[in-house]
Amino acid sequence: MIHLPLTIKETQEGLKEKKFKATELVKEYIARIKKYDKGLNSFLTVSEEVAFETASKVDQALENSGEDAFGKYPLLGVAIAHKDLFLTKGVRTTAGSKVLESFVPSYSATVVDRLEKAGSILIGKTNCDAWAHGASGENSDFGPTKNPWKRQYVPGGSSSGSAASLAANFSLITTGTDTGGSVRQPANFCGVVGFKPTYGAVSRYGVVAMASSLDSVGHFGRCVDDVRRIFEVTRGEDGLDGTVKNSKFEKPKSKLKIGIPKEYFIEGLHKEVEKAVLQAAQVFKNENIELVDISLPHTKYAISVYYIVQPAEVSSNLGRYDGIRYGNDRNSFGDEAKRRIMLGTYVLSAGYYDAYYLKAMKVRSKIVADFEEAFEKVDAIIAPVSPSPPFKLGEKSSNPLQMYLADVLTVAGNLAGIPGLAIPGGFSKKALPLGFQLLGPRFSEGTLFHLGELYQKAVNYVPKVAF
């Protein structure tokens, strides 16, 4: 009997000590998906045959090389599921849209390829809001994903299936994308760790684009150590994404300061969310981390700027799906995709470009400057991820503006291109996950991981799954 859930460290120790085989792990994950996922809809494609084939190779590598195999393959035996924006050679990739419902790519994304070469085992492709357009997981053309903790609630979006499947214990790690909070928010709603790297730290080659100046490839794991291990494999230049640069893990300072931005504790912030963040801040204080009150004055404009810049880039990126190469025409676009295409086309049109897009980019530079000024005083920022705990399915779907406000505490990090780490921090009175996020300067991933691991050690964190 395999005692799940497992972290990467626990999985590999179990394989080393021959407590179980990789094929046995895959069998367990696949069985759980078949038994429970009909009620969650977290997977769009389960690659059972591929998973068992890869797992057999893992077992053979361990048989031949023993522990030495882990030196060559740092993620050997780790079961992974990819958000269905990531191209996977020979395995269907839909982007959560009917436009691509039959599309099977002929090559894999850089991230997929690197994780595969590191020894991971592909379990399948997870559900997501179509084209990554959404904050709740309700905009997939293949039906909404449900929160495994309480199925009448949303799991967050757009990387809904990646977070929900991990919380349901269907795999060990998952991937996602974060354009305005689409890794951090579902991680927060599902009670798992979600990591958004610095813009330009991880290649987006082979990942279906949403908004190219905002998109970041992200990772989900059961603990901070899990996402750190994934990032060590995925980061760095590949020669295929011109925005990516190599960076070093900087050793954290001996004396760290964390900023508390007053603008993130907005009117309407749910009391339980606020309490969870402030409790986490107190944990850091008890660990001799200095807390500093800071201000990010242009944060109040972030959501407005984001919903000008993002639709503009969406309208451009979706122009390639003309129905000739991919089979279905643009009539297959859902309501949210059409809405963003129209908004984006409008703000880029003659006569409105200067009034909207150009002005938004000027304000974006001020948001960047706010963070740069703050990071001269502190090494990281602690803040809520979402204004509220998970909300009910259908509660906001009829009001797009209300739904967009769900991103109000995450989009500024994307506009600035800085890394963010979402960490579980307990549960609400309704037994729904709560948490917080840490934000840092560009390429300060090492500091964020250090702080995250410090927190989890201090609270004796034990990963939890919904069932």
Which entry of 47, 97, 140, 158 is annotated as an active-site residue? 158
Backbone angles phi, psi at 124, to 5 degrees: 165, -170
DSSP state of 332: G
CB atoms within 10 A of CB 213: 16
Cis omega (within 30 of 0) on the bond before 158? yes
DSSP 38-87: GGT--EEEE-HHHHHHHHHHHHHHHHHHTTHHHHH-TTTT-EEEEETTB-
Confirm whether 397 is a catalytic residue. Answer: no
Half-sphere exposure for 174 (CA within 13 Å, toward CB): 37
List of E strands, 149-221: 173-178, 193-196, 216-221
Confirm whether 83 is a catalytic residue. Answer: yes
Q: Which among 175, 168, 157 is positioned nearest to 83, based on CA atoms? A: 175
Q: Are 164 and 139 in contact (CB under 8 A)?
A: no
Q: Are 350 and 358 in contact (CB under 8 A)?
A: no
CA distances from 181 to 279, 319, 338, 409, 462 (A): 22, 24, 21, 8, 24
Which entry of 182, 315, 386, 444 is annotated as an active-site residue? 182
Find the helix or strand (DSSP H, E) in which 348 lies: helix 335-348
Q: How far apart are CA 80 and CA 172, in angstroms?
A: 6
DSSP state of 357: I
Confirm whether 65 is a catalytic residue. Answer: no
Ramachandran area for residue 236 (φ above 0: left; ψ -120 to 50: alpha; else beta): left
Q: Which among 65, 80, 64 is positioned nearest to 125, based on CA atoms? A: 80
Find the helix or strand (DSSP H, E) in which 413 lies: helix 411-416
Which entry of 21, 47, 83, 146 is annotated as an active-site residue? 83
Q: Are 383 and 402 in contact (CB under 8 A)?
A: no
- Cα four-point dihedral sign 99, 102, 106, 110: positive
Residues tagged active-site: 83, 158, 182
